[in-house]
Amino acid sequence: MKNIVILISGSGSNMAAIVQAANQEDWQAKFNARIAAVISNKPDANGLILASAMGIETKRLNHFAFATREAFDAELMQEIDIYAPVLVVLAGFMRILTPGFVAHYTGRLVNIHPSLLPAFTGLNTHQRAIDAGCKLTGATVHLVTENLDIGPILAQTEVAILPSDTAKTLATRVQIAEHIIYPQAIAQLLAAM
């Protein structure tokens, strides 16, 4: 069985979309794969409650309990490696990972970003796209590299920016698109394994 570990920091909406797709498409039969665990760096993340209710094993690893980023990432790697995952999926995991962590999961570490990369890496993507006068934005699924948000692109989808959009309304529509594209990109990766 191919294991997937999902990392979250918040509500877990992308995680939930992935789990729902995995259940609908019956990934266990089609890809010999399953969502083995959801791990959060925030002990009170609502996504942990959601994952548990969906029957997924959960773990909490509070990053504030570690003196350094490297110490946290080393412990996180140990927790992830218990499951020997074929993929580690970042689904709203709001931590910049150390080079050692990224190297450990090279080719298996996947992220979704709320813009059409390479445009608007980092934070505040929606407001930056509006301020730049863009007509389109979207979501990008990419492999994670040491450089923030510039790894190889696996999939993208476009979302129109409306004249009435605020960062909040745009974020809502982009997130709906993320919930579609992210499970599809993961399924494509699993199909290629």
User: What sections of the chain are H helices per DSSP?
Assistant: 13-24, 27-31, 46-53, 69-81, 99-104, 125-131, 167-191
Spot the catalytic one: 104, 113, 126, 179.
113
3-class DSSP assignment, residue 78: helix
Which sign, positive or negative, has the C-alpha torsion 118, 121, 126, 127?
A: negative
Q: Is 113 a catalytic residue?
A: yes
Contacting residues for 91 by C-beta, under 8 A, at least 6 apart: 6, 7, 8, 12, 14, 15, 18, 47, 112, 182
Catalytic center residues: 113
